[in-house]
């Protein structure tokens, strides 16, 4: 028995051959970013796909990857592009910090290529690129450069915790260290790119989160979780507390040309760098109507009264707009008659659920000039565009698309 791992040496030594034999026959070999069938691998497409695939399924990524490659066929094209163009191509894919890091990373890579004549050739070199962590760097080394590289992403962690019955919390550093050690032990020095793709396929197609296809698995004979009938109990992860909910009015502020006001959101917040309708945060107020019947109302929330909750979401532009609306006693009109709980748009983020209800208001030419002056004085990026113009030219979060299409 190994002193480091729960599996015997015989199992550790045969893990990779069994997996690679399975991958050759049953694995996916037609994904557009795969480089194992070429003698001259392109690390750019592997890097691009790995960033897109973080917390996102292959079927979702495929059309986005195709659009990116059509518009930005080389890393130089991506680096030279305007941010708004990149954002428009990414809009709807979610986790928008990835797009910011991708654009920044492209510029970093071009600087390296200009100095050295090539992409980074070491693990440390790739880890120095924005948004590239150890697993992504290992994937690029293995698949994008055909060199030795180790991956340990979510799919790999699920396979390994089940196969070796690793019952430590995968959010803890000690478990992470154990999983990386096992991944390095199992990854062959030769064909680590094929092995990386096989591990990804294993987690994505057989060793799935809820219904693993154990009877088809090449590792079932010595999978410890399978032997105990406890496959779905791995990986172990501490339960998170229920997500809180936040509520906003999405303001459709319309001018005399039927154009709407759009704001570019700050780089470091939610939907960073994308364009959004102005948002008006609200808080729920429980009240009573009739004979003891409970009702739910809402009122505008002044960010200064609840800064810890909303300061990162309620932008300077939105505070200016809300103060201006209050000063001019302009009231937006709801576009639906449902309770806030039944708002048409529910947007779930990492730390909370966000409910967005559309509110519409029209303003005069004089008011438009006044509002423009206020936003301009604060150096706010804003545009007046029709819904079609916004969809065609701006990077919009999916939630905004749903609001204007609804």
- 151 pLDDT above the threshold of 50: yes
Q: Closest Cα partner for 38 from 181, 144, 197, 178?
A: 144
Q: Would you say 46 and 144 are in contact if contact means Cβ atoms under 8 Å apart?
A: yes
Q: How far apart are alpha carbons 365 and 189 in whole angstroms? A: 69
| Cis amide linkage into residue 391, ω under 30° from 0 | no
Active site includes 50? yes
| Cis amide linkage into residue 235, ω under 30° from 0 | yes
Burial class (CB in 10 A: 0-12, 13-18, 19+), 114: exposed
- 257 pLDDT above the threshold of 60: yes
Cα 274 to chain centroid distance, Å, stands at: 14
pLDDT at position 289: 35
Quote the mean pLDDT of the chain: 88
| Whole-prediction pTM | 0.81
- CATH number corresponding to 9-233: 1.10.340.30
Q: How far apart are alpha carbons 384 and 388 in whole angstroms? A: 12
- β-partners of residue 361 are 253
Q: Which residues lie below 8 Å from residue 253, measured CB to CB, with a gap of 6+?
A: 260, 261, 277, 278, 321, 361, 363, 371
264, containing H or E segment? strand 260-264
pLDDT at position 313: 65
Among 9, 24, 50, 259, which one carries the catalytic annotation? 50
Q: How far apart are alpha carbons 19 and 195 in whole angstroms? A: 8
- SS3 for 219? coil
Model confidence at 284, pLDDT cuts 50, 70, 90, reads low
Model confidence at 312, pLDDT cuts 50, 70, 90, reads low
% of the chain with per-residue pLDDT over 70:
89
Q: Which residues lie below 8 Å from residue 302, measured CB to CB, with a gap of 6+?
A: 322
Burial class (CB in 10 A: 0-12, 13-18, 19+), 87: buried
Tokens read off for 157: 């962690």
Where are the domains positioned within the chain? 9-233, 245-405
pLDDT tens for each residue of 172-199: 999 999 999 999 999 999 999 999 999 9
Q: How far apart are alpha carbons 3 and 303 in whole angstroms? A: 56
Residues in the chain: 406
Q: How far apart are alpha carbons 79 and 81 in whole angstroms? A: 6
pLDDT tens for each residue of 20-43: 999 999 999 999 999 988 999 999
Q: Would you say 280 and 251 are in contact if contact means Cβ atoms under 8 Å apart?
A: yes
- CATH number corresponding to 245-405: 3.90.79.10
- 156 pLDDT above the threshold of 60: yes
Rg of the chain, C-alpha, whole Å: 25
Q: Would you say 48 and 33 are in contact if contact means Cβ atoms under 8 Å apart?
A: yes
Q: Are strands 353-362 and 260-264 parallel, antiparallel or unpaired?
A: unpaired
């Amino acid at each position: 028995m190994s002193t480091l791992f729960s599996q015997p040496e015989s199992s550790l030594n045969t893990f990779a051959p069994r997996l690679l034999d399975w991958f050759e026959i049953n694995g996916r070999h037609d994904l557009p970013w795969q480089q194992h069938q070429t003698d001259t691998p392109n690390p750019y497409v592997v890097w691009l796909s790995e960033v897109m695939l973080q917390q996102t399924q292959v079927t979702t990524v495929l059309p986005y990857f195709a659009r990116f490659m059509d518009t930005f066929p080389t890393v130089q094209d991506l680096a030279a592009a305007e941010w708004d163009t990149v954002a428009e191509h990414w809009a709807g894919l979610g986790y928008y910090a990835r797009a910011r890091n991708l654009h920044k990373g492209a510029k970093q890579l071009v600087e390296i290529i200009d100095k050295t004549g090539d992409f980074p050739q070491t693990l440390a070199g790739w880890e120095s690129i924005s948004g590239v962590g150890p697993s992504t760097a290992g994937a690029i080394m293995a698949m994008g450069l055909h060199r030795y590289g180790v991956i340990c992403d979510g799919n790999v962690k699920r396979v390994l915790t089940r196969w070796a019955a690793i019952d430590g919390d995968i959010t803890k550093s000690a478990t992470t260290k154990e999983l990386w050690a096992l991944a390095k032990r199992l990854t062959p020095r030769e064909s680590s790119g094929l092995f990386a793709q096989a591990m990804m396929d294993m987690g994505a197609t057989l060793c799935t989160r809820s219904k693993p296809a154990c009877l088809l698995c090449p590792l079932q004979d010595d999978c410890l979780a399978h032997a105990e009938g406890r496959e779905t109990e791995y990986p172990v992860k501490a339960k998170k507390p229920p997500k809180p909910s936040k509520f906003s009015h999405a303001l459709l502020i319309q001018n005399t040309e039927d154009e709407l006001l759009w704001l570019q959101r700050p780089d470091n917040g939610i939907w960073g760098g994308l364009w959004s309708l102005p948002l008006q945060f609200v808080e729920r107020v429980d009240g009573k109507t009739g004979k003891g019947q409970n009702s739910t109302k809402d009122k505008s929330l002044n960010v200064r009264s609840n800064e810890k909750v909303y300061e990162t979401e309620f932008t300077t532009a939105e505070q200016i707009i809300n103060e201006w609306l209050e000063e001019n006693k302009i009231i937006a009109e709801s576009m639906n008659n449902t309770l806030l709980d039944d708002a048409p748009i529910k947007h779930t983020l990492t730390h909370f659920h966000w409910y967005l209800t559309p509110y519409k208001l029209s303003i005069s030419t004089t008011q438009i000039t006044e509002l423009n002056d206020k936003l301009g004085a604060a150096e706010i990026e804003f545009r007046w565009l029709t819904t079609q113009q916004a969809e065609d030219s701006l990077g919009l979060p999916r939630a905004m698309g749903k609001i204007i299409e609804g």
